[in-house]
Amino acid sequence: MSVPRFWRKQVNRYNLIGTHCKECDEYYYPPRNLCPTCRRDGELESYKFNGEGEIVTYTIIHTAAEGFEHQTPYALAIIKLDEGPRLTSQIIGKPEEMKIGMRVKSVFRKLGQDSDRGMIYYGTKFIPA
């Protein structure tokens, strides 16, 4: 990921900040510029999620992408936040302990880096609650 691309959504990744439509009461993560339901009638506000949710489904990665080779095996899950939105995140913990419906909470971790000379990217991952 390029440095500017990461930086643009940095605060959202650090603090799980998305958006909430005051018109239809829907929550979005990542943040949206327009409510897809209400369109022009929608009224979006910035919203910080409480960081808790549950695993909807997960997979165990054994053959990882570049930069993650030495973390295998690790769990990648779709998490449903308590406010509603779903997001994909790595789950910190033993792969054999993962299960659908498991409660998780957010933590601050390194997401990756651009080689030993490049930027380090930080953000949100999840651990069993």
Partner 1 sequence: MNVGIVSYGAYIPRYRIKVEDIARVWGDDADILIAGLMVNEKSVPDLDEDTATIAVEAARSAIIRSDTDAQRIGAVYTGSESHPYAVKPTSTIVAEAVGATPVMTAADFEFACKAGTAAIQACMGLVGSGMIDLGLAIGADVSQGAPGDALEYTAAAGGVAYLIGNKKSELAAIIEDTYSFTTDIPDFWRREGMPYPEHGGRFTGEPGYFKHVTSAANGLMEKIDTKPADYDYAVFHQPNGKFPTRVAKMLGFSKEQITPGLVVPRLGNTYSGSCMMGIAATLDMAQPGDRIFATAFGSGAGGDAFSITVTDRIEEIRNGAPSVEDLLKDPIYMDYAMYAKHKGKIRLA
Does 70 engage in binding with partner 1 (CB under 8 A)?
Answer: yes
Least distance between partner 1 and beta carbon 95 (Å): 14
Token pair for residue 46?
């910035």
Q: Which stretch binds partner 1 (CB under 8 A): 23-31, 34-42, 78-86, 102-110?
A: 102-110
Does 80 engage in binding with partner 1 (CB under 8 A)?
Answer: no
Q: Of 92, 95, 114, 128, which one interacts with partner 1 (CB under 8 A)?
A: 92
Residues 47-66 touching partner 1, rule: CB under 8 A, are 48
User: What secondary structure does DSSP assign to the chain, as a single string?
Assistant: --HHHHHHTHHHHHHTEEEEETTT--EESS--SSBTTTBTT--EEEEE--SEEEEEEEEEESSPPTT-GGG-SEEEEEEEETTS-EEEEEE-S-GGG--TT-EEEEEEEEEEESTTTSPEEEEEEEEE-
Q: Which is nearer to partner 1, 27 or 68 (CB)?
A: 68
Interface with partner 1 (CB under 8 A), residue total 16
User: Which residues contribute to the site for partner 1 (CB under 8 A)?
Assistant: 10-11, 14-15, 48, 70-71, 92, 107-111, 120, 122, 125
